[in-house]
C-alpha cells in the first residue's frame, strides 16, 4: 500500500470517528434536555444515535465526558473566533465592543439555554461537571478583564469603577438566568431584551461621550 493511500485511509477513519462523536453528542444533548441528565442512560444515547453502546464508551468513556464535550463546544458554535476578529476591528469603539460582547453572550444563551439547565442539573450528581461550568465562567471573566483594563487605561470606565467591579456588574446583568427570566418567563423576546441590556450595561459601565 502506498504512503498516500495510507494517509487517505487514516484521514478518512479520523473523519468518520469525529462524525460518530458528533452524532453521539447530538443524541445525548437531545435526551439530556428531554429527560434529564440523571435519567438518561448510555444505552438510550446509543439507541438515539444509532450506534452500539461500546461505540459510545469508545468515543467518550462515560456520560460526564459527553456533557463536558457539549458544554466545551458551545463557545465555538456561537462564533467565538468571529467575536475576537470583530473586537479587534472595533478596538477604538468601546460602545461597539460592549455591544459585541453582549450579542455574543446572548446568542450563546439563546442557542444553549436548554444545555445550561441540563448541565446545572447534572452538576449536582457530577461534581466534576460543576468545575467545567466554573472554568467556562472563568474564561469569560478573564477575556472581559483584558478588555475592561484597556477601557480603564483609556479613561472610559465610569469614575470610581474598578475593572473587577465592572466584571461583577457585567456578570450579574448578562447571565443565562436573567435571559431565561426576561425572554422566556416575562415574554420580552430576544431582540427586546438585548436592546435593553445594551443600554443598561452601557450606562452602568461606561462614560458617555
Residue spans of the domains in the chain: they are: 1-61, 68-209
- pLDDT of amino acid 84: 85
| Alpha-carbon Rg for the chain in angstroms | 21
**Which is it for the CA torsion 102, 199, 144, 182, positive or negative?**
negative
Residue 62, SS3 per DSSP? coil
How far is residue 97's CA from residue 34's CA, in Å, rounded to a whole number? 36
- pLDDT tens, residue by residue, 134-161: 887 888 899 899 999 999 999 999 999 9
With DSSP H G I counted as helix, E B as strand and the rest as coil, what are the percentages for the chain, rounded to 5?
80, 0, 20
DSSP string of 29-47, one letter each residue: HHHHHHH-TTT--HHHHHH
- Cell numbers standing for residue 129: 461537571
How far is residue 178's CA from residue 172's CA, in Å, rounded to a whole number? 8
**Which fold is adopted by the domain 1-61?**
Arc Repressor Mutant, subunit A (1.10.10)
How far is residue 169's CA from residue 167's CA, in Å, rounded to a whole number? 5
Q: Measuring CA to CA, which residue among 89, 92, 86, 81 is closest to residue 151? A: 92
The per-residue pLDDT string of the chain (209 residues; one tens digit each, 9 = 90 and over) reads 555 545 445 555 557 878 898 899 889 888 988 888 888 999 999 999 999 999 999 999 998 888 888 877 877 777 788 888 999 999 889 999 999 999 999 998 998 888 888 877 777 777 777 777 788 788 889 989 999 999 999 999 999 999 999 999 999 999 999 999 999 999 999 999 999 999 999 999 999 87
For domain 68-209, give the CATH number: 1.10.357
- pLDDT of amino acid 14: 59
Note if the pTM is more than 0.85: no
How many Cα atoms occupy the beta-carbon half-sphere of 5 within 13 Å? 2
Residue 114, SS3 per DSSP? helix
Residue 141 phi/psi, 5-degree rounding, is -65, -40
> What is the b/e burial string over 161-199, where b = at least 16 CB atoms within 10 angstroms of the residue's CB?
bebeebbebbeeebebeebeebbeeeebeeeebbeebbe
- Cell numbers standing for residue 142: 478573564
Amino acid at each position: 500500500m502506498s504512503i498516500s493511500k495510507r494517509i487517505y485511509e487514516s484521514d478518512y477513519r479520523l473523519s468518520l470517528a469525529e462524525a460518530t462523536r458528533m452524532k453521539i453528542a447530538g443524541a445525548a444533548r437531545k435526551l439530556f434536555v428531554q429527560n434529564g441528565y440523571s435519567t438518561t442512560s448510555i444505552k438510550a444515547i446509543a439507541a438515539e444515535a444509532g450506534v452500539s453502546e461500546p461505540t459510545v464508551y469508545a468515543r467518550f468513556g462515560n456520560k460526564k465526558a459527553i456533557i463536558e464535550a457539549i458544554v466545551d463546544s458551545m463557545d465555538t458554535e456561537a462564533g467565538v473566533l468571529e467575536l475576537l476578529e470583530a473586537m479587534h476591528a472595533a478596538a477604538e469603539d468601546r460602545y461597539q465592543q460592549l455591544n459585541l460582547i453582549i450579542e455574543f453572550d446572548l446568542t450563546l444563551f439563546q442557542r444553549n439555554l436548554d444545555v445550561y439547565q441540563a448541565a446545572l442539573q447534572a452538576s449536582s450528581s457530577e461534581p466534576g461537571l460543576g468545575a467545567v461550568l466554573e472554568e467556562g465562567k472563568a474564561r469569560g471573566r478573564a477575556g472581559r478583564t483584558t478588555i475592561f483594563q484597556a477601557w480603564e487605561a483609556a479613561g472610559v470606565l465610569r469614575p470610581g469603577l474598578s475593572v473587577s467591579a465592572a466584571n461583577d456588574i457585567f456578570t450579574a446583568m448578562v447571565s443565562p438566568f436573567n435571559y431565561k427570566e426576561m425572554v422566556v418567563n416575562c415574554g420580552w423576546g430576544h431582540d427586546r431584551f438585548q436592546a435593553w441590556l445594551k443600554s443598561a450595561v452601557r450606562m452602568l459601565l461606561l462614560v458617555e461621550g
